[in-house]
Structure 1
């Protein structure tokens, strides 16, 4: 049943797009790591000291889940056991041939210039050598060796796709032919079109040797019979998988194939076995790897029980709702696998990792709404937006169910006339009165929505009456909000009780705090279990084991055993505290009992703020004051902190008004630092505290949960760390442990960009941050922060933010740095070139304007990778920590690293739970001519605490997240569709309070 109404307005738009970003400020804005006792409070300032206090808070999952086994997570076996993954009979020695070739390549590299390694049309530094420091260990890694038949020809074809109706469709009102159809991009319909295409005899004759990315590439094991011009068109008549026959006026899809050449697998194998002195102009590595990924993914793509969510991620969706692992509020956790073809010295490898993601359950939509919680209808609509559902109320001629697939646009909604500023109705160019949704009233139900129905002689019917008369369906919940499964212009109203959620749909929005904690419980698995899942279960989903006919057709094979590589354990540097006392960290943590901070700063005027009526024991504040004194902070002026309190009435707006009021009161009394005691871990409350403190009042805030104040001295020590850092102090030093960094002529920089979450307000900005050291103590990391255009990865205002960092460094040291070591977080391999062309140019321009005719600083840029899927598993319990992970300080620069480039993996932290993820460091520019040993040691020593990446990249990432707090309402994926971000009305676009 359908009705028609005019399209509503798009929203306020962006006006003149004036950013009003502000100057970012020069005041210090580094961040401390803190203790993680409150996972939302990241501190500010220097390196911090602790995540230690968080260790006992979450606890383990234990064995209580019981049934969370083979079926519960998408047919993926839950196999707890030994902490060391050690399959019987497997070799635990790296391939000697690979190590020999690695050494040969490095030896030749040392006699070559920087420009000899070319990736496409830009250069990367060659590997200067391999590290030798530390204890040598052997590790398994989640890579499987691939075999490629060099004599097998593989053919690549590129294609374009166009669509049209068999008979031109005309607008019923105007009689004009409608605009041409736009082919779907990577959607369910596009996949179905490819499935119909491959039924053509040209493809059926090839058998298993046909694979596609469902975009613009097809790989075949035999040559297609193209026309003389090297192209060929295939026209298919589209019909849904569920339909018995095409529609009366079906869509015709035309695939135009063009020959793209042979896949250069032979050349790839030759390149991986070559050395820098071998003559080679091979530039087809990316093409070959892309084709191999398409081939490997074929089995999963053709499995109707496997669903893809994200690039190279495949999930086996559970078929029995009774086995769902529920996250709460209408979501479930589904386990799957990631796979990606990678290259390294002398071999091609398949990287496979376990994944867990939130999905919608395949249940009735009315039940889904009930599970989610009715609440605010806009929130429910956001949750359902673009969800695919199937209906069965229509029938075939023989009386059997006719399954139809629909997409939920939103709820039915009251439409009001659009009025101009004089109160007159506004019409479109066709004379229709413009309508807009009235968001102040609830959606309409099947008893309220009426329309003129041509099928029943133009009678006015309610939706409830229509389904009764047309399909003999009596609605059980006629008062439920109606779903619009058409478009805004041409709505199709369907009661939710008649819709079933299609399986395999991943949730793209932001999880609630509770759902996040549940997801962690479901997803976190120890390293040995993680390895067993991959080794024993991934082949069921990805299909890379045994006599896989798909792989065999392309001459490709994958070994069933993980490869073994060499790693090294670097020694942790001694950490110096006040009074020159030293501590040597163990397992990336240490106890500060009896120690004072290296450079404590007296606290001038501070307060504590109780939110939401939390209760404090009388001794809590006194205990915290003693901790401040014990660690050397003390206080100046009145020793007693001023108490403040603010209620949290309930609604977000009322809570925000209460927080605003109390921060204004504290500002008026000159408060500089506040201990905020939170009643719960609400991310919304935390975000508003940071906004009013950082942006509007200029008051440093440290947030703690009320329940954590009873944890005792170690917890108070961790909170004191944050106080000192935010006050400009230095908690600990690494004298003579940072090589050339201790000379005081190098500025270390961290750069990152974060993007709005899926389903955020349309056009919500990305947030860029730059942090930098100011001296050779590396205890404070001031920063700059700004908004920029949505989803833009490169930092558009990097020149100005780098100038701010350089000016502060010069102000502190009375001279400019001779060297700049940059850790750039958050860019993919395909963006290395853009960093060198765009961001490096901005950095050089900033230096030229600051330095003038004086010598320019030498620059080294290291990319920090966190979103990779490499994991390491100890082969010996003596080289593992108590959770079975490699011990902190494990570095890997052989076996799975770049075949000729300069990169390494470093696990500097001890994982709190689950499988540890090392960070990946890739050098893309090296004017400082760093050695492998030198860079690895510096990076490790900077990151001796329990964080996974080195401090500059870590703080840049945290600063970006703080920016997200300031715009949480817009960028955290909880905004209903249809509203567009307005830069002119934004509460924040850059910088913080000048105080």
Structure 2
């Protein structure tokens, strides 16, 4: 990982300011090409060593993985020509031929191989002629032994879980440590000495951080069946509280996707007892205390869902209310299959072995919602009073870098007057297209769900759109907002509800710090509820920043909200309080979340839909579809339609 600085010049109300932030980037390991290849291969095969680079012994999958990793990387050729010049080339492919086996004809017609040519032309005797070559052009091959990976190349692909964990350690910097690093960056980027270009041009830039006015919004009351709590610092404790509307579990089964020798039947029973007790403490009624336990270790991930349904039919006539699945690790190959269209709750075996009651309390919040219960309610304020209202969240999930899979658009919307139950709609669309192509049809889906539940048409629609950059605002206005209006009128010509369209997200570089340590929270961050709507906001739009959550690690990043459309003409206070109150409605935890819950749900839905489609692992099918018609895309579309029905 490399650390640097992000800078941008921004226009605020009546002034300009420079935004400086820390930036981190995963980089390709540089150095001898064989060393880099071995280090990369060791991530999947820890015993991989120099002897495994031989073209005769290299595992076929390792060759494929290394070929994908090396493609388009820049290398320096250490074998210098007669003038002593180094060559800088780009890798086209990793060949299957070694330096000893790769043969070609010289200009005089004599045949030679790469090994002998390198020795004759450059005076280099290869120590490992059995290692493969890289191709840098149609005719040019170089043995990996004489190549070095050039320094300073970005790693643009998706990080694996271990790499992600390491990158988080590197990028997690608390506010007390972050400010000195930012000051150092400002001194480097904007020197203020007499001879600096800024002074020569007559520009004066204040290098101390800006002081901006802020206010702390009051937290809402969170209401449970037996008590009401006013959270402090964005958190509260579930102990002693019963859910507002509880589910009842009569038919359920337990699946253990680990070998019985590692998680014995008695340990599973003890965990099930802890699970039942955790649910009962919140008011969830579990009628069957000793469910059927089935071990599923060794079942192929593609057959997991079928296996679970088959086992369930041995016990029940139809699919039970809930499958509880014990998984040995995260991520787990079975997870995607388990989550397809059936009510499930996954439990981590390492976590349940610790026997922490708080873990089961957290699980209870998820289970109750999955079974159509309601954990708690929050009064959202005047923005949603007086008229039937639907609050939407929208997001688009894009494939991992280097993938050709399609993007997935997700829309969620409240379908009850308490704003606790959500309907959903998902679609696939061309890869990395941000505007939601079928948002009109998706809105219609949710309006129909709301009307079916409440028996009235909503007169106010409030949208929270995640993932849109400032450069896409006009495009979203032209395409998505207009499509929503047309969709409403196509349901009924006179149906014209008020629309408020708010873009929200955390992909910005504004950091808020308390002026004095005593003004911050225990981690040194600004307190939950801190809102800034002056000086660092846009000169052209109505926008603001709200720090809605209590940060656990590092420097917290506030959510940025920009209002693109507001037919209801809400005041700033009304909208800001609505947004902050919504952050306390996330059903899966007893904390306020970092941005508006509807957008949070949409993000989770889009990510889950990608998991359903196994999009990241289906690149080959996507590439094939570009050459052989739309078969792969059609298969995805059919699968998405099936999942849409299961999600309702």
The alignment's TM-score, normalised by the length of structure 1, stands at 0.59
Alignment of 1:242-321 (within 5 A): none
335, 338, 348: which one pairs with 1:689? 335
Which residue does 1:964 correspond to in 2? 610
Structure 2: where are the runs of 5+ without partners?
46-61, 585-590
Which residue does 2:376 correspond to in 1? 732
Separation (CA, whole Å) in 2 of partners of 1:660 and 1:699:
9
Which residue does 1:856 correspond to in 2? 496
Alignment of 1:877-892 (within 5 A): 877-892=517-532
**Quick check: 1:366 aligned with 2:13?**
no
Q: Which has the higher helix share?
A: 2
SS of equivalent residue, structure 2 residue 153: coil
Alignment of 1:701-780 (within 5 A): 701-709=344-352, 710-735=354-379, 737-743=380-386, 745-760=388-403, 762=404, 764-780=405-421
User: Once the two structures are superposed, what CA deviation does each residue of 1:384-415 show, in whole Å capped at 9, x if it has no partner?
Assistant: 22111111313233xx3x11111112211xxx
Separation (CA, whole Å) in 1 of partners of 2:186 and 2:624:
41
SS of equivalent residue, structure 2 residue 433: coil
Which residue does 1:141 correspond to in 2? none
Separation (CA, whole Å) in 1 of partners of 2:242 and 2:385:
22
Contact (CA 8 Å) 2:392, 2:414: kept in 1 or not? yes
SS of equivalent residue, structure 1 residue 905: strand
- Gap change, CA 1:548 and 1:716, over 3 Å in 2: farther
Contact (CA 8 Å) 1:743, 1:776: kept in 2 or not? no
How far did 1:974 drift? 8.2
91, 94, 110: which one pairs with 1:408? 91
Larger Rg: 1
SS of equivalent residue, structure 1 residue 957: helix
- Gap change, CA 1:588 and 1:745, over 3 Å in 2: same
How far did 1:900 drift? 4.8
Contact (CA 8 Å) 1:860, 1:927: kept in 2 or not? yes
Which residue does 1:586 correspond to in 2? 232
Contact (CA 8 Å) 1:573, 1:941: kept in 2 or not? yes
Which residue does 2:169 correspond to in 1? 521
User: Once the two structures are superposed, what CA deviation does each residue of 1:326-383 show, in whole Å capped at 9, x if it has no partner?
Assistant: xxxxxxx111110010111221100000011110122111100111116522222222
Structure 1: where are the runs of 5+ without partners?
1-332, 413-442, 649-653
How far did 1:569 drift? 1.0
User: Once the two structures are superposed, what CA deviation does each residue of 1:19-50 show, in whole Å capped at 9, x if it has no partner?
Assistant: xxxxxxxxxxxxxxxxxxxxxxxxxxxxxxxx
Alignment of 1:427-438 (within 5 A): none
Contact (CA 8 Å) 1:408, 1:485: kept in 2 or not? yes
SS of equivalent residue, structure 1 residue 562: coil
Alignment of 1:482-521 (within 5 A): 482-486=133-137, 490-521=138-169
Separation (CA, whole Å) in 1 of partners of 2:607 and 2:623:
25
- Gap change, CA 1:785 and 1:511, over 3 Å in 2: same
- Gap change, CA 1:469 and 1:660, over 3 Å in 2: farther
**Quick check: 1:914 aligned with 2:554?**
yes
**Quick check: 1:335 aligned with 2:3?**
yes
How far did 1:491 drift? 4.4
How far did 1:979 drift? 5.9
Separation (CA, whole Å) in 2 of partners of 1:826 and 1:661:
35
Which residue does 1:382 correspond to in 2? 68
- Gap change, CA 1:468 and 1:660, over 3 Å in 2: farther
**Quick check: 1:820 aligned with 2:461?**
yes
Contact (CA 8 Å) 2:383, 2:575: kept in 1 or not? no
SS of equivalent residue, structure 2 residue 422: coil
How far did 1:983 drift? 4.6
SS of equivalent residue, structure 1 residue 872: coil
Contact (CA 8 Å) 2:461, 2:498: kept in 1 or not? yes
598, 601, 618: which one pairs with 1:952? 598
- Gap change, CA 1:978 and 1:859, over 3 Å in 2: closer
**Quick check: 1:354 aligned with 2:22?**
yes
Contact (CA 8 Å) 2:625, 2:631: kept in 1 or not? no
Separation (CA, whole Å) in 2 of partners of 1:805 and 1:713:
37
User: Once the two structures are superposed, what CA deviation does each residue of 1:813-854 show, in whole Å capped at 9, x if it has no partner?
Assistant: 11110000011111111211111111111111211122x144
- Gap change, CA 1:552 and 1:492, over 3 Å in 2: farther
Which residue does 1:634 correspond to in 2? 285
Which residue does 1:938 correspond to in 2? 578
Separation (CA, whole Å) in 1 of partners of 2:613 and 2:644:
15
- Gap change, CA 1:565 and 1:446, over 3 Å in 2: same
527, 534, 541: which one pairs with 2:182? 534
867, 871, 876: which one pairs with 2:511? 871
Separation (CA, whole Å) in 2 of partners of 1:548 and 1:967:
59
Separation (CA, whole Å) in 2 of partners of 1:872 and 1:379:
42
SS of equivalent residue, structure 2 residue 419: coil
**Quick check: 1:665 aligned with 2:318?**
no
How far did 1:941 drift? 0.5
How far did 1:608 drift? 2.2
Separation (CA, whole Å) in 2 of partners of 1:786 and 1:810:
22
Separation (CA, whole Å) in 2 of partners of 1:479 and 1:660:
46
Contact (CA 8 Å) 2:323, 2:345: kept in 1 or not? yes
- Gap change, CA 1:355 and 1:519, over 3 Å in 2: same
How far did 1:544 drift? 4.6
User: Once the two structures are superposed, what CA deviation does each residue of 1:948-968 show, in whole Å capped at 9, x if it has no partner?
Assistant: 110111111111111221234
SS of equivalent residue, structure 1 residue 595: coil
SS of equivalent residue, structure 1 residue 566: coil
- Gap change, CA 1:745 and 1:343, over 3 Å in 2: same
Separation (CA, whole Å) in 2 of partners of 1:994 and 1:666:
23
- Gap change, CA 1:977 and 1:754, over 3 Å in 2: closer
**Quick check: 1:453 aligned with 2:98?**
no
Separation (CA, whole Å) in 1 of partners of 2:381 and 2:253:
37
- Gap change, CA 1:551 and 1:972, over 3 Å in 2: farther
Query: More relative contact order in 1 or in 2 (CA 8 Å, sep 6+)?
Result: 1
Contact (CA 8 Å) 1:381, 1:976: kept in 2 or not? no
**Quick check: 1:563 aligned with 2:210?**
yes
**Quick check: 1:833 aligned with 2:474?**
yes
Aligned residues: 606
Separation (CA, whole Å) in 2 of partners of 1:930 and 1:379:
54
SS of equivalent residue, structure 1 residue 343: strand
SS of equivalent residue, structure 1 residue 721: helix
Separation (CA, whole Å) in 2 of partners of 1:947 and 1:975:
37
User: Once the two structures are superposed, what CA deviation does each residue of 1:708-766 show, in whole Å capped at 9, x if it has no partner?
Assistant: 1124211101101111111111111114x422425561100111112122111x3x211
- Gap change, CA 1:646 and 1:390, over 3 Å in 2: same
Contact (CA 8 Å) 1:567, 1:892: kept in 2 or not? yes
How far did 1:661 drift? 4.6
Contact (CA 8 Å) 1:645, 1:662: kept in 2 or not? no
SS of equivalent residue, structure 1 residue 925: strand
How far did 1:538 drift? 4.2
- Gap change, CA 1:660 and 1:853, over 3 Å in 2: closer
Separation (CA, whole Å) in 1 of partners of 2:91 and 2:421:
50
**Quick check: 1:612 aligned with 2:258?**
yes
Which residue does 2:12 correspond to in 1? 344
